[in-house]
Structure 1
Amino acid sequence: MMMINLREYVKIAISISFILIAMQPSIYAQNEQISWGRAQNQDNGWYALEEAQRIADNVLLYQHENGGWYKNIDMADELTSAEKEELRKQKFTKLGTTIDNGATHTQLRYLAKVYNATGEERYKKSFLKGLDYILEAQYANGGWPQFYPIKQGYYEHITYNDGAMIGVMDLLHNIAIAKPTYSFVDAQRQQKSKQAIDKGLEIILATQVKVNDKLTIWCAQHDKDDLSPAKARAYELPSLSGKESAGIVEYLLKLENPSGEVKQSIRSAVQWFQDHKVMGKKVVWIEDSTYTDNRDRIVVQDSDGGPLWGRFNDITTGKPIFVGRDGIIKQYLAEIEHERRVGYNYIDNYAEKLLKEDYPEWERKY
């Protein structure tokens, strides 16, 4: 038997105390109230905790009877009894359920994590209802509208804007390949998910814009009938979208055994990004007391700046365009109103990671 003296014992005791003290913040951090955004990115064990289930129960309350959710809601907020009762009354309101701004597919990802951690059937039931909603919302041609039931106007377009359709397809892809997080989904729904992403891929390939018979990238939204680039809000004109197209290509890179058509689509889009990157400039925030928020966003010359791409780009020339609420195309960010400059990201490094990391890795594989 090993013997230790009193001094060594004290040293060991102090060391253990320091370790326990150091551990305490992370233990408490796991149980603290957090935002809906932070709740999406926690360790697997966190989703079994009381706080994770409290948020999941909120998600169930916000879900409408048709299976979908509204957008722009922090589902981690503490709800009063009166608020919960009002949400129960609103469940049968269908108009407004959407895939815009991460709605519905984000809730489903969260519920899957909590179900896997807890085994609580109510989370599985809610997930499957939401999955059925997404599958039902798909157009026969493979696209998804922004709202379902259909909301008239630009909301009817096939919507890539803000990652709407790609967010849905990424979820369905993970279900179709039986990724462990979604292994609880039954075989019939897995098959429907596979069929949905196959149709979705068809419409992605069909909507890739051609200029002079050469494939380029995509618009943020396309007409549901003739598939042409389509206008949405006044400052969202038919154009080539840097942000949304980068997201589409990232999705295509994940596909196993890509067809020749998919490979051509990827390489054509990457070539467009290579040909139309803006170098020697960068976007910066500055203090400006002229405005109530005391700030402005500007583009400045910088020899080390770039690559940048426009959120909107002229279909013919591929050059970034800047459009305010008046719907008039400008050449420079400084020419549109302050409210839009600071409220919408018109130019950024949208495809930088795609070109530097993800696409080269894909090429080495294929």
Structure 2
Amino acid sequence: MKRRTFAMSILLPFALAACGGDSEPGPGPGQEVPPEMVPYLDAMKRAATFMSEEVAYKGGYVWSYLPDLSRSWGEMEAKRTMLWVQPPGTPSMGHLYLDAYHATGDELYYKAAEQVALALIEAQHEAGGWNYIYDFAGEESLKDWYDTIGKNGWRLEEFQHYYGNATFDDAGTAVASQLLLRMYLEKKDERFRGPLYKAIGFVTESQYEGGGWPQRFPLMGKGGEPDYTSHITFNDDVAGENIKFLIMCHLALGESQLLGNIERAMDNFVALQQPAPQPAWGLQFTQDGKPAGARTYEPEALTTHTTANNIQQLLNFYNMTGDEKYIARVPEALDWLDKVRLPSELLEIFPDRTHPTYIEIGTDIPLYVHRRGSNVVNGEYYFDKDPAKPIGHYGQARKLDVDAMRARYEELAAMSPEALTAGSPLKITGPAALPRYFSLREVKLEDLYAGATMTTAPVTAEDAQRLVGELNAEGYWSTKITMITNPYKGPGAAEPFVEDTYATTHVGDRNDTSPYDPAKAPATYPAEESPMGISVESFIKNMGVLISYVAPVQ
């Protein structure tokens, strides 16, 4: 699953300058362009024109398409009239276009970014956030999608029910909100100001008194009753993403009143760390601070990857504030992660992994999730303590570098208070510039410090030349589509399916609309090859390489 980490491997040849609407973009049409750069700039324009004029639907994008656009996919199959908000979807494309504008000064890219931002404004929920998807054909068309394709995706339970609200899951709302912030800062266009502040209001109004956030808001569940989506969630780093966005707004807009929301959110990490002898965190928590389950393959348990992420965030908070409350119990959590490592005899089942995902509350014994059946109608998930035949679509073991986390803790703990918080974004007063590029790699908290520069290794001429040569006559990079789906053909059979054919596969029988890689299809499927098509993720990565190559050294 790509989601929020999809395109963070692109390398840049220079320190990435900041932008806050005051910095000038690079050379645009008509300005002096070195002749040797013309082929690369032409390739970028051809690719962007194709995507914005041929592939986009009213400014919106999903994740991948067949060449004739007859079928398209986000995390599931999408109607042509839909956009996908989850990365690498519509907001990710907007960030890329704005980055290309910063690199070249060509208004073509700004217009493409503007088109994306306006599509997101139409898709914005009245509360201020975004759902995973939006359908320009209207509410009834969207509900039809949920009642057919969504309802029959066995492993994608978040799409089996239409809530009608917005979600923080998978960083969709965070990435869309960041794009509106950047678009407003770029030219102070008032069309973007209202939706931006609506998005800020969504983050602040949905925040619980204790500082955490639910997964979805306004609060509602199936049948109108609250369900797991109302729990305080750390899944997909919801709290970390919201903190980062609020810090960006504090910096770029001078909205210092958001510092209170930020502090409450940081304190919530401290408050929800569980007591010894299990000083860890789960994916979700009830309002009284107890770990809670969510989807049926997410049992009530402590989770090692969430614990590792929260340790890193606490170290970030200490780095920004110098307040020792944020690291007071970090050593306990690190020791616990060492304690629950996978035993050597399980490394054959979980190669290149170090820790089980789920740990039973009260015992420190790993829990493993399994499934039986063949589709969402006759199938079910269950968990036990047997590591054999775990589900394949949700990792039951993780690779965590506890030694690196411990070294970072020791390094920060040894620093003087002055050195520790130097340049902290929480201590900056008045509007300050944001990083200039957002799509080329993830913007991290350390990139928001005063005087920070985002640097990476260089892109070679060979890499750039290869991409120019691979751009086809139509204007896109033809790419293998490695996640496809069975077309919807109705609900699956309700008769029990007792074999274990689909126990570890990403997709069940032919009635399952969950995505799968053709190269890893169940044994019951005929052999098939991945179709060639148009990939938003590949477009963003390839454009990132070319941006890196043509942009002037700052």
After TM superposition, is the score higher than 0.5? yes
Cα separation, 2, equivalents of 1:261 and 1:145 = 24
- Identify which of 185, 194, 200 aligns with 1:131: 200
SS at match of 1:166: helix
Q: AA paired with 1:277?
A: R
Q: 1:260 corresponds to which residue?
A: 324
Q: AA paired with 2:218?
A: P
Q: AA paired with 1:221?
A: Q
Q: 1:68 corresponds to which residue?
A: 129
Q: 1:219 corresponds to which residue?
A: 282
SS at match of 1:140: coil
Cα separation, 2, equivalents of 1:19 and 1:68 = 40
- Identify which of 269, 276, 287 aligns with 2:333: 269
Contact 1:67 1:132 in 2 (8 A): yes
Q: 1:287 corresponds to which residue?
A: none
SS at match of 2:292: coil
Q: 1:243 corresponds to which residue?
A: 305
C-alpha spacing 1:28/1:360, structure 2 compared with 1 (3 Å): farther
- Unaligned 5+ segments in structure 1 are 1-15, 88-92, 285-297
Cα separation, 2, equivalents of 1:124 and 1:132 = 12
Q: 2:17 corresponds to which residue?
A: none
Question: How high is the TM-score relative to the length of structure 1?
Answer: 0.71
Q: AA paired with 2:195?
A: S
SS at match of 2:126: coil
The Cα of 1:353 is off from its aligned counterpart by 8.9
C-alpha spacing 1:343/1:112, structure 2 compared with 1 (3 Å): same
SS at match of 1:103: helix
C-alpha spacing 1:314/1:261, structure 2 compared with 1 (3 Å): same
**Bigger relative contact order, structure 1 or 2, given CA contacts below 8 A and separation 6+?**
2
Q: AA paired with 2:314?
A: L
Contact 2:215 2:238 in 1 (8 A): yes
C-alpha spacing 1:19/1:358, structure 2 compared with 1 (3 Å): same
Aligned-residue CA RMSD (Å): 3.4
Cα separation, 1, equivalents of 2:328 and 2:300 = 23
Count, aligned residues: 305
C-alpha spacing 1:219/1:122, structure 2 compared with 1 (3 Å): same
Cα separation, 2, equivalents of 1:56 and 1:352 = 40
SS at match of 2:131: coil
SS at match of 2:217: coil
The Cα of 1:164 is off from its aligned counterpart by 2.0
SS at match of 1:327: strand
- Identify which of 115, 123, 126 aligns with 1:54: 115
Could you say which structure has the higher helix fraction?
Answer: 1
- Identify which of 372, 378, 382 aligns with 1:327: 382
- Unaligned 5+ segments in structure 2 are 1-33, 52-60, 64-86, 103-108, 143-161, 221-225, 371-379, 421-554
Runs (4+) of structure 1 exceeding 6 A deviation are 84-87, 281-284
Question: How high is the TM-score relative to the length of structure 2?
Answer: 0.49
C-alpha spacing 1:110/1:345, structure 2 compared with 1 (3 Å): farther
C-alpha spacing 1:68/1:353, structure 2 compared with 1 (3 Å): farther
Moved more, 255-264 or 16-25: 16-25
Alignment of 1:1-366 (within 5 A): 18-33=36-51, 37=88, 38-39=92-93, 42=96, 44-46=99-101, 49-71=110-132, 73=133, 82=137, 95-151=164-220, 152-176=226-250, 178=251, 183-184=252-253, 187=255, 190-191=256-257, 193-212=258-277, 216-224=279-287, 226-255=288-317, 256-278=320-342, 299-300=350-351, 305-306=352-353, 308-324=354-370, 325-332=380-387, 334-336=388-390, 341-351=391-401, 355=405, 358-359=408-409, 361-363=411-413, 365=415
The Cα of 1:65 is off from its aligned counterpart by 1.7
Cα separation, 1, equivalents of 2:41 and 2:100 = 16
The Cα of 1:41 is off from its aligned counterpart by 5.7
C-alpha spacing 1:249/1:49, structure 2 compared with 1 (3 Å): same
Contact 1:278 1:309 in 2 (8 A): yes
Cα separation, 2, equivalents of 1:353 and 1:83 = 51
Contact 2:282 2:303 in 1 (8 A): yes
Q: AA paired with 1:335?
A: K
Contact 2:304 2:357 in 1 (8 A): yes
Contact 1:66 1:94 in 2 (8 A): no
C-alpha spacing 1:206/1:18, structure 2 compared with 1 (3 Å): closer
The Cα of 1:220 is off from its aligned counterpart by 0.7
SS at match of 1:322: strand
C-alpha spacing 1:202/1:321, structure 2 compared with 1 (3 Å): same
Cα separation, 2, equivalents of 1:321 and 1:25 = 50
Cα separation, 2, equivalents of 1:210 and 1:70 = 35
Contact 2:269 2:314 in 1 (8 A): no
C-alpha spacing 1:97/1:276, structure 2 compared with 1 (3 Å): same
The Cα of 1:274 is off from its aligned counterpart by 3.2
Moved more, 231-240 or 24-33: 24-33
CA deviations on 1:256-309 (whole Å, 9 max, x unpaired) are 13322211133322332233333758989xxxxxxxxxxxxx524xxxx44x22
The Cα of 1:95 is off from its aligned counterpart by 3.7
Q: AA paired with 2:93?
A: A
The Cα of 1:322 is off from its aligned counterpart by 0.9
